[in-house]
């Protein structure tokens, strides 16, 4: 058993699967509200990293969903959706590698290069601000 964070341990089960167990106080907050804070998000990302999942993830305080796929040529495709009520942005991502180029898919199917800023090792900031219920598609190389 390995301690991942206060109140969180990692073990390996008999089949070789990695399991993270945690607990938190939820009284008076509803079932999931304590899990939806910025600190809890960072905490969950740390737990996922301990399980070997270091893929792309949204680091924004707002609600964002990130879907990732890889092309046969190695290009990473990211779909980022704003699932909140307010404009999202700038978009901050946990990045498993430092990209050489980031391109945004335009409304007519054409790709446009955008500037991505590395805020810290493993973190990327994009100058995109999708409004409520909108998204963007990125090609990352």
> Which residues span the domain enclosing 18?
2-50
What is the distance between the alpha carbons of residues 97 and 120, in angstroms, rounded to a whole number?
Answer: 12
Q: Are residues 17 and 63 in the same domain?
A: no
Q: Are residues 61 and 46 in the same domain?
A: no
Q: How many domains does the chain have?
A: 2
What is the distance between the alpha carbons of residues 93 and 5, in angstroms, rounded to a whole number?
Answer: 22
Residue 104, strand partner residues: 112, 138
Q: Are residues 45 and 63 in the same domain?
A: no
What is the distance between the alpha carbons of residues 94 and 120, in angstroms, rounded to a whole number?
Answer: 10
pLDDT one digit per residue (tens) for the chain, 141 residues: 888 777 788 888 999 887 878 776 666 555 555 556 677 777 777 777 777 776 788 887 668 888 899 999 999 999 999 988 889 878 889 888 889 999 999 999 999 999 999 878 888 999 999 999 999 999 999
Q: Are residues 65 and 130 in the same domain?
A: yes
What is the distance between the alpha carbons of residues 119 and 2, in angstroms, rounded to a whole number?
Answer: 30
Q: What's residue 111's pLDDT?
A: 97
Q: Is 46 left (phi over 0), alpha (psi -120 to 50) or beta?
A: alpha
Q: Are residues 85 and 25 in the same domain?
A: no
Beta carbons of 80 and 134 less than 8 angstroms apart: no
What is the distance between the alpha carbons of residues 57 and 65, in angstroms, rounded to a whole number?
Answer: 8
What is the distance between the alpha carbons of residues 81 and 89, in angstroms, rounded to a whole number?
Answer: 11
Q: Is 70 left (phi over 0), alpha (psi -120 to 50) or beta?
A: beta
CATH of the domain at 87: 2.60.40
The pTM for the full model equals 0.70
Q: Are residues 69 and 90 in the same domain?
A: yes
Beta carbons of 88 and 127 less than 8 angstroms apart: no
Q: Which of 33, 50, 67 is the last residue of a domain?
A: 50
Q: How many CA atoms lie within 13 A of 17 on its CB side?
A: 6
Q: Are residues 68 and 36 in the same domain?
A: no
């Amino acid at each position: 058993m390995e301690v991942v964070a206060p109140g969180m341990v990692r073990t390996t089960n008999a089949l070789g699967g990695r399991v993270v167990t945690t607990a938190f106080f939820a009284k008076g907050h509803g079932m999931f509200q304590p899990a939806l804070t910025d600190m809890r998000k960072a905490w969950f990302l740390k737990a996922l990293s301990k399980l070997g999942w270091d893929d792309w993830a949204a680091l924004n305080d707002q609600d964002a969903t990130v879907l990732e796929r890889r092309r046969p040529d190695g290009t990473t495709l990211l779909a980022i959706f704003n699932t909140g009520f307010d404009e999202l942005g700038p978009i901050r991502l946990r990045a498993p590698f430092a990209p050489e180029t980031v391109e945004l898919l335009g409304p007519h199917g054409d790709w446009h290069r955008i500037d991505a800023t590395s805020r810290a090792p493993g973190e990327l900031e994009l100058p995109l601000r999708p409004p409520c219920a909108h998204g963007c598609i990125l090609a990352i190389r």
